Structure 1
């Protein structure tokens, strides 16, 4: 008989991500890459409405599945054989979902995506029921609410398969809101034992994975253009600017620790939910660099302004969202608080630089890091814990 699944302590020292969690995250790289690639293709073909809507829907599915597992594992990971097997089943579901992304994006056929999600969610429900079996009182009721809520939402996603195409967006909005409400409802009586430092690390690691996928997508685009056209002088400014944007995105996110801010469910939920925009915009930057490369050689059905916006808009959104939900809690004084909001506006302004928009955005992002480092060295941060 497997051991009972008991909640871990929130005060546990030296809590860190496990190899299984890192393996789980890597499986999501495939799904993120598929969603980003489809976004780039749709925008390059001149279909921004279809591309952005499809991307937001599919990225939500990827992000929410990752969220479900990450918060559960922070509270209940006992790393026994049964836990590992069920987690591996969830990984298989992720890969099935990823395989269905192109069909869902191009034809509105969510059958494969829904089945992959079903595999993941059934495994997640099994985990919550096991946690309920190993707990008592309010903790048991919380675990049962999670199992029930996840099950109801998965049934709700059937609307993607049975309703007409023009109703799919409404299904996404309604069931998506139901998904977001499940943790709030489930934990209204008792908070699960998620670990602040562990959760902060998990989100940081996934940010690195998404930025890594952005670099990989941009590298493939540059390599393909170089093989086909061989014009290094045209590619270097785009590649260099894009790399500066990604490097700055990393620096901005990891400038200060965040786990000391995550003291309550309200703070943690707002911070965790806001990462939908952080992860989504970071992945979209890679798609934007692909489009900028294609437009430079006349293979994208977009103007120079439109191609530039594909990079500057997600980059600016990333900067502003990271400030809004993450960085501002550690900033001291108006000067530090204004750096990222002002920089996001300046990055947007780079859209008007035409073919030089990407290198200009890269320079603004680099200047943002330099100014932030200088101000922090002079004024410190709002946390007692020093910067890493």
Structure 2
């Protein structure tokens, strides 16, 4: 059951004060779940645009555009989620401002395909709506506190506002300068939390924030399944190629299922004890979430290649699945799994799997199925190693 700041009848307005980091039974609220669902639209649009770019043999530019757009999606979600973990009071004003942010997400989603064609105005407008709402939340938090905490809230509001002005560079600079401007702005955005919290830290909740990231990961993996399913159905309806699509369908499903298993087998919240640990973990999820969404796009590309709708080689189509899968595996191992491994054998499972998945790129039309079977074997090996008697291992948590 989702928690609320108080069991008393809900007031129209409550003071926005920091919630306790040790608060018991803290879980995602219905509003947060609703907020997350709006991002499904944006993630789906980014994945669809990546499919079109790669299928037309513009993989380099497509991946670059995808990386830029997905960061915009991810960072907007991050801004709200960490603030909400510390200051969600669930009153009427908090809800209304959050709904405004959700409207901004939908505007952003509407501008994703245009951003892949280097037209950023709609994307920037959606971001403007979200960031103005976020600044409003931080200014409201500042009115309810004093001292270092008030300074932190004001630095957040100022930093976010200045960064939003900086994003105007995507509209004003010539096309060749935009990737560099984007890189500068990414660095600026990532510095805002560090600067804002150098004297006082927000009281984000470890269990709550790990649950929020987990739920978003589920949404992204679900979107991968949805995109792949639609692609297979369309191919069968238009080209009647079910026999050739079965290996891709089975392999893709195994990859996504294994991705869920590997991510959720470890108790992450136990490691989130400081801002340094939490920020590194949170920032690293950009690669986890981005690669997870790209897996679905890769499966869709393989489907389209099988029915002759792409202008790329079989090897390139296979790489569109195996490369993001390998990125997902190595980042999950680096950020999560390696801390719960016991012994060399367990530590090597995911790194070795990553290499085997990349090797599957050269398996022709069977590449996706081969990668899926490799990941299935990985789960089996991981469970087997974790199930050994304690006398034969030093302890640790089961990880695929």
- Alignment TM-score > 0.5, same fold: yes
**Which residues of 2 match residues 193-208 of structure 1 at below 5 A?**
193-208=203-218
Residue matched to 1:269:
279
For 2:395 and 2:145, locate their aligned partners in 1 and report how far apart those are by CA, in whole Å. Answer: 35
232, 246, 254: which one pairs with 1:236? 246
Instruction: Find the counterpart in structure 2 of residue 137 from structure 1.
Output: 147
Residues 241 and 307, structure 2, Cα contact 8 Å, conserved in 1: no
User: Using a 3 Å threshold, how does the CA distance of structure 1 residues 261 and 228 change in structure 2: closer, same or farther?
Assistant: same
Q: CA RMSD in A?
A: 1.5
Gaps of at least 5 residues in structure 1 are none
Report the CA distance between 1:6 and its aligned residue.
0.2
Structure 2 gap ranges (5+): 1-11
> How far does the alpha carbon of each residue in 1:187-240 deviate from its partner, in whole angstroms, 9 at most, with x for none?
111110000000000000000000000000000000000001112110100000
Q: Which of 306, 309, 312 is residue 299 of structure 1 equivalent to?
A: 309
| Secondary structure of 2:111's aligned partner | helix
User: Which residue pairs with 2:320 in the alignment?
Assistant: 310
Please say if 1:326 is aligned against 2:336.
Answer: yes
Q: How does 1:38-187 map to 2 (within 5 A)?
A: 38-106=49-117, 108-187=118-197
Does 2:45 correspond to 1:34? yes
Alpha carbons 2:382, 2:398 under 8 Å: kept: no
Aligned to 2:6: none
Contact 1:114 1:157 in 2 (8 A): yes
Alpha-carbon offset, residue 241 of structure 1 = 0.2
Please state if 1:188 is matched with 2:195. Answer: no
TM superposition score normalised by structure 1: 0.97
Secondary structure of the 1:378 match is coil
Any residues of structure 2 matched to 1:206-245 within 5 Å, and which? Answer: 206-245=216-255
Change (3 A) 1:202 1:292: same
Give the Cα separation in 1 of the matches to 2:73 and 2:347: 31
Pairs aligned (count) = 386
SS in 1 for 2:387: helix
Question: Equivalent residue of 1:298, what SS?
Answer: coil
Structure 1 partner of 2:36: 25
Residues 1:344 and 2:344 aligned together:
no
Q: Superposition pairs for residues 350-365 of structure 1, below 5 Å?
A: 350-365=360-375
**Partner deviation per Cα, 1:48-94 (whole Å, 9 max, x = no partner):** 11100100000000000000000000000000000000000000000
Scaled by the length of structure 2, the TM-score of the pair is 0.94
- The separation in 2 between residues aligned to 1:383 and 1:48, in whole angstroms, is 44
The answer to whether structure 1 residue 372 and structure 2 residue 358 are counterparts is no
Shift of 1:3: 2.2
Q: 1:67 to 1:277 in 2, by over 3 A?
A: same
C-alpha contact (below 8 Å) 1:332/1:379 kept by paired residues = no
Is 1:291–1:310's contact at 8 Å kept on the other side of the alignment?
A: yes
